[in-house]
Structure 1
Amino acid sequence: MSRPRMMNRQPVLIEKAVFDGYDFGIQMPFIEGANKVLLRRGGFFIRRGEHPLNRHWRIPKNKLNSELDLVFHELLELGQDRFTESWQSFQEKLEQAQASPQRDAFIWGMQLRIAPLAGRGVLLSGDYHPGVVAVARRMRGVFLGKSTSWRIDASAELVRSNLILELGLAEEQIELLDIVQELLDDGSVAPAEGMPRISLGGPPQEATEATSTEEVSNEIYLAAVSPIERTEYSAQAISKALEGYSLLDHQPVGIAHLLQRTSALLADDMGLGKTRQAVIAAHIRAAGQPILVVTLSSLLINWEREIHAVYPAATVAQQKFAPEAQWMIINYERLGDYVTVAERYAVMVIDEAHRLKEPTALWTRHGFDIAAKIPNRYLLTGTPILNRETELHTLLRLSGHPIGQLPLKDFCEQFSGSPEFRQNLRAQLGDWMLRRRKDVLPGLKGKQRQLLAIAMSDEERRQYDVIRLEDKPIFARLGALRFYLEQLKIRIAMDLLSELDPDDKVILFCEFKPTVAALKALCEEAGIGHVTLVGSDSTAKRQKAIDRFQQDPDCRVFICTTSAAGTGNNLTAANYVFFLGLPWTPGQQDQAEDRAYRNGQLRMVIVKIPLIEASIDQQLWDLLLAKRQVSLELIEPEGQQEALAKKMLAATIGTVS
């Protein structure tokens, strides 16, 4: 019996269609002259081979839908009867795409930047997307043509949250800059005074004073939280409760600090075991009732392991509500799901609590809604201040501290802006905040920073200046310069790796994912065992990378972005830390360094920071030093500040490469 002969199907006009809520992506066969039809409707052909929608036409919804029948007949006519597509099927394919929008269809490769503005609000700039425009308009933003950016009267965290919710962007696609900007009289922007400035050059500009006299209230509604109260736990009762636990010498004091107050901040230096102290304090205080833990998504597994290390039989649930679980661990993004069941928990532990510093962020509001229903609230962070004093206000408010009840304006007038004011605030925090430095760990061998001065070649300097003086907004140039300098340091990183001993291990912190990819390829070529971690990695993949680095002696390099791996992870197998790019705050830098410099580290930790001379590298380093001084004056006792400042200076050595 002969096989049936297969007939060639005639091609259709639309092979595939997607829709993101704003634009269509249409894949179609080649038709002579079709490009003119689509270009007239604002179409754009995606040529980049790595783009997920390579060889698709991207067309705005309103321009296509308004002339859909005309577009269909023009394409059909150009096809000269080669296509079988009917008007009905043509229309149905687009309707089906609209019915199931893929909001992240066109966000590949997008980068956005958000910077604070002097006075109030932020500046949003970066790659164009109609969704970005929609978010900015909904937030009553004003477009500044001179700087091709949006001025939005809201916080950076709120703007970022709205962009992520609207477009499905990854966190690393939105860079939060920390250089305060001010509007100039020609409509452009420049860094404001107050901290060391990052200057990119160009013609001088003069700032203009704001002309608006509109009164705006900055007060944000947050649920009222019960005031801090002393508990019934005496020192003797706590000592008895801690019998049988294996603890370091400093940890019983931290546990007692939490147990003796209904709410408190444990601000120990990174690596002193805040998680272990909080687990034990929460378990004792809860007395068999359920406990809610809020942490970063990357630390969920770490918290579960820590709970089971102390209480092997504990029932622990992650992310999905489980009424029978003694411990419920969730990330910040899931807080909204637990507002209605918050009453069942006796203790709320908030890890990396500085994430709640922004009162307008949705997860902060949900955090307050939950905290208002839970009698005991333990806050943990090794960096209570990332940039400025006001970041403590929301945490004080969340705890129920009397100072937190002050309006933000009054708080700023009393406690921010000068060393004297910061000392006053430090005195008010003594009973609420407990902070110990790593010198309580006699086994730690110390940490030393080494600055490496790097010179650019003539060609590299020429390229640097081309980027620096480009006719682009300041944020675009700043981001491009940081990326360029990080790429130059790849060769420096590989040279440094070649100098290490066989038993040395190193963490390479980058600010950009392409740098991670480049270093990975070079390590593979050189036969150096390594793992990588970036923001898009799953929780399981992250933990697998951490475990291999910690346990496999042949895995010597941990390549990562600071945003993805700079908090929470235990990487004590490393005795070296290299920064190819600097984060924007000293708190982020310290958090990243202390992935290696923490309890369990048996060797001296060497932090190497290559700084390229006569570039924004040195300006950013000066900015970090200025911010570090503010933090020192606020969270450290007055009598220790001079000694600590000298100690930090002594721990940073300049070397010449």
Structure 2
Amino acid sequence: MPASAPVFVPVAPAKKTFLMRAVFDGRRLGLAVPYGEGIGELMRELGCAWFPPRRMWLCLGEQAARLMTGLKAHAPKLPSYALVDVRELAALAWRAPDADYFACMLDLQLLPLQSGGFAVTSAYDLLVVRALKGLGGRFHRHASAWEVRRPRQEILQVLQEEAGVAETFVFVHDGQVVLEDLVSAPKSELPISVPGASPPRGIGGGDGEEMGAGFLSSFGTPLERLPVDEEALAATAKACGLREYQVGGVRHLLGLSGGLLADDMGLGKSRQAVVAGRMAAGQSKVLVVCPASLGINWEREIRAVYPKALIATIGQADTSALSAADWIIANYERLGGLVRDATLDLVCMLVDEAHYLKEHQAGRTRNAFLLAERIPRVFLLTGTPVLNREVEVHTLLRLSGHPIGRMPLADFRKAYAGDATRRDELAGRLSEWMLRRGKDVLKDLGDKTQQVRYVQPPDGLAAYRAIYSDSSLQAMPKITKLRQRLEALKVEFLIESIESLPPDAKVLIFCEYMETVETLKHALSASGIGCVSLVGSDAPKKRMAAVDAFQQKPEVKVFIGTTMAAGVGITLTAANYVFFASLPWTAALKRQAEDRAYRSGQTRDVFVIVPIVAGTIDEQIFALLDSKREIEVAIVESNRTAVGA
């Protein structure tokens, strides 16, 4: 008889572990569970809150039994995970509590308010929220802080008793901060108009409690004029090889307790600030605050002037290195640690790309205010102090101690925004504090010419029109999709334009979307054109490698980048053609990007090419940039100073 066929019994795949770790601190139960579709929604449905510092979901101890029951009931919805041991692991954690495991990571801070009481900031925690509500606290969403009109000791006692946060884990600031209402942004005179669906109802309603609309700030050292040691300045300028106009920039900063250097891009603001910062600080520490991607640029700039400088970067250097350093570099996202460390003797702060602080409610702006309160010299650097509106310069004025920066934001807007007369008055006050020079100081610099090219995509606009007509899309998501589509439609034009350029031409292409960067890279490579790219996710070393390759290697003809990542802080003078696949949202950002090529060191004329698809929102955005440019010209360019090179 023939042998019977073997019987195959299906084997179920092994289930993945659901609960990787559990911690109980006596009040909160934390569960570390994997990322997965539907898991976050389930944990929130069961009353948990995500706690980023420990990467765990937290629930109150009093709700733990309900959570365990809920997970058991929902187990069929998670067939890939094993939930059988969840209760057992949670019980083990419950029997061996780790008292301060979560409290020590709350970053809880008390900031005395000038008007009385305290602003309290913390990572989100259910028990802290309950405690602050019990104290009559009012949450201000722009400040991400609670306003609590109670004595310090009462607040600390309630946090200890109700939330289990010992006083040792609460940082109490010495200096006072100001809590004032945020002024709403005015509507643009030339908005981008597309038909869009109405936003869904009920978003942002919270639990019905009234919330404040305040933001936190503090006043820097009051602005004062200081004497400048001209002999020391002349000797330093000679040793550092400064140009005449750069000596003027150093003199401007040294002559004020706090000031703004707003030179056009490419005139060497960093070099001037490095010299001024060292002269102002003497042998003490200088803090450089900059976007994360520019830290390595600043290290190079400092060493170019002071080769033996001891430089430490926050997040990379340990405590001993920070103590020994005479230069400390910190990106905006790491300022919170410096705010809590009062041991470092910081005498001068250089704030690069200072327009990053234009948003009053941003955490980085608040941290910069807190640092400026205890650092006597604050030098601000940006070629674009005003991007959209007059009120954007208010934070910079307050940060560096200018008298009109001490005005409440609402009063400042009323006095200096809205029409040409008020802008003229603002420009006059800025001249007391801001120095701006144009590229006319560079006598060896060629011309910069902009050309608008109207493009007719070979694939037509059917997909664009389909997005435009989609009534289910709200206005802002629709505008984003339309811009992405238009950018993609210009790829063929960009490739053909580059192929038709002279053999010695080098090109910058600025995009708004990373997908276009990747598409262009592949298309250029397929055409045998050498290229490099830079996007926001690139590490600093990769960023500098791309810059160096473009600047130094003849075979690398094209540099492609997003405007936000590649449009600031780097020199790309090998390029003499600049293309914008899409325009950024402000004229200042556009000029800042194109001036990566048009700056000191450029020996050729620069051509800026702006492709526009007729009959689309491209034309509206181009007009919008013109309207924003008018505000910038009235306030900033009117203070332009002509100096010999």
TM-score in terms of structure 2 length: 0.71
- Structure 1 residue 199 corresponds to structure 2 residue 193: yes
Q: Return the alpha-carbon distance in structure 1 between the equivalents of residues 466 and 32 of structure 2.
A: 35
Partner residue in 2 for 1:383:
384
Partner residue in 2 for 1:285:
280
Any idea what SS the aligned residue of 1:434 has?
Answer: strand
Structure 1 segment 140-219 matched on structure 2, within 5 A: 194-201=188-195, 219=214
* Counterpart contact for 1:520–1:532, Cα < 8 Å: yes
Q: Return the alpha-carbon distance in structure 2 between the equivalents of residues 73 and 610 of structure 1.
A: 55
Unaligned runs of 5+ in 1: 1-7, 28-34, 43-60, 97-133, 139-151, 160-181, 183-190, 205-213, 642-657
Partner residue in 1 for 2:565:
564
Partner residue in 2 for 1:527:
528
Partner residue in 1 for 2:358:
357
Q: Please list the CA deviations of residues 243-294 of structure 1 after superposition, one character each: whole Å capped at 9, or x if unmatched.
A: 3331223111001000111111000000000000001111112111111110
Partner residue in 2 for 1:170:
none
Cα offset for 1:87? 3.2
Cα offset for 1:317? 1.4
* Counterpart contact for 2:195–2:475, Cα < 8 Å: no
Cα offset for 1:68? 4.2
Q: Return the alpha-carbon distance in structure 1 between the equivalents of residues 384 and 628 of structure 2.
A: 12
Partner residue in 1 for 2:517:
516
Partner residue in 2 for 1:310:
305
Partner residue in 1 for 2:100:
none
Task: Give the partner amino acid of 1:295.
Answer: C
Partner residue in 2 for 1:410:
411
Any idea what SS the aligned residue of 1:453 has?
Answer: strand
How many residues are treated as equivalent by the alignment?
512
Q: Please list the CA deviations of residues 378-428 of structure 1 after superposition, one character each: whole Å capped at 9, or x if unmatched.
A: 110000001111011110000100000111111111111011100001111
* Counterpart contact for 1:255–1:277, Cα < 8 Å: yes
Cα offset for 1:202? 7.3
Partner residue in 1 for 2:271:
276
Cα offset for 1:338? 1.1
* Counterpart contact for 2:141–2:212, Cα < 8 Å: no
Cα offset for 1:444? 0.8
Q: Return the alpha-carbon distance in structure 2 between the equivalents of residues 226 and 41 of structure 1.
A: 50
Cα offset for 1:351? 0.6
Any idea what SS the aligned residue of 1:504 has?
Answer: coil
Partner residue in 2 for 1:175:
none
Cα offset for 1:316? 1.2
- Structure 1 residue 481 corresponds to structure 2 residue 478: no
Partner residue in 2 for 1:259:
254
Cα offset for 1:533? 1.0
- Structure 1 residue 462 corresponds to structure 2 residue 462: yes
In the superposition, relative to structure 1, how do residues 352 and 86 fare at CA in structure 2: closer, same or farther (>3 Å)? closer
* Counterpart contact for 1:577–1:605, Cα < 8 Å: yes
Structure 1 segment 27-66 matched on structure 2, within 5 A: none
Q: Return the alpha-carbon distance in structure 2 between the equivalents of residues 402 and 623 of structure 1.
A: 32
Cα offset for 1:235? 4.2
In the superposition, relative to structure 1, how do residues 275 and 640 fare at CA in structure 2: closer, same or farther (>3 Å)? closer
In the superposition, relative to structure 1, how do residues 481 and 240 fare at CA in structure 2: closer, same or farther (>3 Å)? same
Bigger mean CA offset, 494-503 vs 376-385: 494-503
Unaligned runs of 5+ in 2: 1-8, 21-29, 44-63, 94-125, 131-138, 146-183, 199-208
In the superposition, relative to structure 1, how do residues 455 and 358 fare at CA in structure 2: closer, same or farther (>3 Å)? same
* Counterpart contact for 2:448–2:607, Cα < 8 Å: yes
* Counterpart contact for 1:231–1:259, Cα < 8 Å: yes
Q: Return the alpha-carbon distance in structure 2 between the equivalents of residues 638 and 484 of structure 1.
A: 40
* Counterpart contact for 1:423–1:638, Cα < 8 Å: no
Cα offset for 1:605? 1.1
4+ aligned runs moved over 4 Å, structure 1: 16-27, 61-68, 70-76, 89-93, 152-155, 191-194, 201-204, 214-219, 234-237, 638-641
Cα offset for 1:239? 2.8
Partner residue in 1 for 2:332:
332
Q: Return the alpha-carbon distance in structure 2 between the equivalents of residues 629 and 421 of structure 1.
A: 14
Partner residue in 2 for 1:106:
none
Partner residue in 1 for 2:593:
592
Task: Give the partner amino acid of 1:87.
Answer: V
In the superposition, relative to structure 1, how do residues 86 and 263 fare at CA in structure 2: closer, same or farther (>3 Å)? closer
Cα offset for 1:465? 1.3
Identity percentage of aligned residues: 40
- Structure 1 residue 300 corresponds to structure 2 residue 295: yes
Q: Return the alpha-carbon distance in structure 1 between the equivalents of residues 384 and 499 of structure 2.
A: 34
Q: Please list the CA deviations of residues 146-165 of structure 1 after superposition, one character each: whole Å capped at 9, or x if unmatched.
A: xxxxxx9966x989xxxxxx
Equivalent of residue 234 in structure 2, options 239, 244, 247:
239
Q: Return the alpha-carbon distance in structure 2 between the equivalents of residues 21 and 88 of structure 1.
A: 13
* Counterpart contact for 1:343–1:373, Cα < 8 Å: no
Cα offset for 1:462? 2.4
In the superposition, relative to structure 1, how do residues 287 and 408 fare at CA in structure 2: closer, same or farther (>3 Å)? same
- Structure 1 residue 606 corresponds to structure 2 residue 611: no
Task: Give the partner amino acid of 1:427.
Answer: G
* Counterpart contact for 2:19–2:83, Cα < 8 Å: no
Q: Return the alpha-carbon distance in structure 2 between the equivalents of residues 570 and 21 of structure 1.
A: 48
Cα offset for 1:341? 3.1
Any idea what SS the aligned residue of 2:287 has?
Answer: strand
Q: Return the alpha-carbon distance in structure 2 between the equivalents of residues 595 and 21 of structure 1.
A: 48
In the superposition, relative to structure 1, how do residues 217 and 201 fare at CA in structure 2: closer, same or farther (>3 Å)? closer
Q: Please list the CA deviations of residues 433-479 of structure 1 after superposition, one character each: whole Å capped at 9, or x if unmatched.
A: 0000111101110211111011245x632221110010211112111
Equivalent of residue 84 in structure 2, options 82, 87, 107:
87
Structure 1 segment 533-552 matched on structure 2, within 5 A: 533-552=534-553
Any idea what SS the aligned residue of 1:354 has?
Answer: helix
Q: Please list the CA deviations of residues 162-211 of structure 1 after superposition, one character each: whole Å capped at 9, or x if unmatched.
A: xxxxxxxxxxxxxxxxxxxx9xxxxxxxx98642132224799xxxxxxx
* Counterpart contact for 1:490–1:519, Cα < 8 Å: yes
Q: Return the alpha-carbon distance in structure 1 between the equivalents of residues 581 and 611 of structure 2.
A: 7
Q: Return the alpha-carbon distance in structure 2 between the equivalents of residues 501 and 357 of structure 1.
A: 41
In the superposition, relative to structure 1, how do residues 346 and 75 fare at CA in structure 2: closer, same or farther (>3 Å)? closer
Any idea what SS the aligned residue of 1:400 has?
Answer: coil
In the superposition, relative to structure 1, how do residues 567 and 66 fare at CA in structure 2: closer, same or farther (>3 Å)? farther
Cα offset for 1:92? 6.4
Partner residue in 1 for 2:163:
none
Cα offset for 1:23? 8.8
Q: Return the alpha-carbon distance in structure 2 between the equivalents of residues 474 and 74 of structure 1.
A: 36
Cα offset for 1:553? 1.1
In the superposition, relative to structure 1, how do residues 638 and 505 fare at CA in structure 2: closer, same or farther (>3 Å)? closer
In the superposition, relative to structure 1, how do residues 215 and 436 fare at CA in structure 2: closer, same or farther (>3 Å)? farther
In the superposition, relative to structure 1, how do residues 317 and 194 fare at CA in structure 2: closer, same or farther (>3 Å)? closer
Q: Please list the CA deviations of residues 545-576 of structure 1 after superposition, one character each: whole Å capped at 9, or x if unmatched.
A: 11111111111111111111111111111111
Q: Return the alpha-carbon distance in structure 2 between the equivalents of residues 266 and 346 of structure 1.
A: 18
Partner residue in 1 for 2:616:
615
RMSD, matched Cα: 4.0
In the superposition, relative to structure 1, how do residues 375 and 73 fare at CA in structure 2: closer, same or farther (>3 Å)? closer
Q: Please list the CA deviations of residues 279-314 of structure 1 after superposition, one character each: whole Å capped at 9, or x if unmatched.
A: 111111211111111011111111111111111111
In the superposition, relative to structure 1, how do residues 543 and 634 fare at CA in structure 2: closer, same or farther (>3 Å)? same
Cα offset for 1:602? 0.9
Task: Give the partner amino acid of 1:196.
Answer: L
